[in-house]
Structure 1
Amino acid sequence: MTIGIATDHGGIELKQQLQAYLEKKGFAIKDFGAFEYDAADDFPDFVVPLARAVGAGEVERGIACCGSGVGASIAANKIKNVRACLVNETYSARQGVEHDDMNMICLGGRVIGIALAQELVDNFLGAEYQALPRQVRRMGKVAELE
């Protein structure tokens, strides 16, 4: 599975730690930046290219970080075929994929630590969309909004 990852300055440390963690687990990572700390950078410059790659199927899942995860989530959800959620607990990290076909997880680099982030990402990446009739019906209604 190829995972896309992106951040602005607010999540750079968390992104770097997650990238190393995922590479050690054998995942292929496509890094959309930021590559170094720059307090003047803007999350859309990194998160939107990641979201476009997720929406186009160029990467299978995306992980976006910013200071809180809120801005990354807002920006990512503007892109067609992207279902991004800010997640801070494990149930939603798994259930968001299983029931709602979430394909991007957004994390706050100033809000959570690496241990929780790893647990969230493990749940996110380990889950599969169930595609039950009610879920497909609901996600179809969401897709019509695009």
Structure 2
Amino acid sequence: MIIHLATDHAGFELKEKLKPFLEKLEHEVIDHGAFEYDEQDDYPDFVRKAAEAVAADPERSQGIVLGGSGQGEAMVANRVKGVRAAVYYGGPEEILKLSREHNGSNILSLGARFIDEETAKRIVKIWLETPFSGEERHKRRIDKIDSF
């Protein structure tokens, strides 16, 4: 699987820790930035590139984007047709699993100010290992979303 990463300054440190973790899980990692810590950078500049890459290769690609809360990053990603970004910044893991099983999320947006490195690694692994259920009702709903 190809994993497209993107972040702004708020998630930079965590992104840098997730890269080797993802490579150890035998994923190809493509980093869309930020490439250095810059307190003045803007997450849309990086997240858009990752989201467009996921949308261009949906069979082989997933995305992980990071920011302070993950909310703005998900909003940017979800502007790209074919992207279904889910936000996680803590709480029950079942919510995260449902984002894959029912909604076929293809980008995970992490709130780096609310989760630590170990939680992020655990959540990323769960998200990547949870498949879309393929149930007809969920396919139908995704088709409706994609028609917008």
CA RMSD of aligned residues (A): 1.2
Quote the residue 1:77 is aligned against.
78
| Cα deviations by residue, 1:13-61 (Å, 9 ceiling, x for unpaired) | 1101111211122211000011110001000000000000011117510
Quote the residue 1:35 is aligned against.
35
Kept in 2, the 8 Å contact 1:51–1:82? The answer is yes
Pairing partner for 1:123 from 106, 126, 140: 126
Could you state the TM-score of these two structures normalised by the residue count of structure 1?
0.94
* Aligned-partner Cα distance in 1 for 2:46–2:83: 15
SS across alignment from 2:99: helix
Quote the residue 1:100 is aligned against.
103
Kept in 2, the 8 Å contact 1:94–1:126? The answer is no
* Aligned-partner Cα distance in 2 for 1:111–1:69: 10
State how 1:1-146 maps to structure 2 within 5 Å. 1-57=1-57, 60-87=61-88, 88-89=90-91, 90-145=93-148
Q: What is the total number of aligned residue pairs between the two structures?
A: 145
Could you state the TM-score of these two structures normalised by the residue count of structure 2?
0.93
* Aligned-partner Cα distance in 1 for 2:123–2:94: 9
Shift of 1:93: 2.2
**Identity percentage of aligned residues:** 39
Instruction: Give 5+ residue unaligned stretches, structure 2.
Output: none
Instruction: Give 5+ residue unaligned stretches, structure 1.
Output: none
* Aligned-partner Cα distance in 2 for 1:76–1:51: 5
* Aligned-partner Cα distance in 1 for 2:96–2:21: 17
Shift of 1:139: 1.0
* Aligned-partner Cα distance in 1 for 2:146–2:26: 32
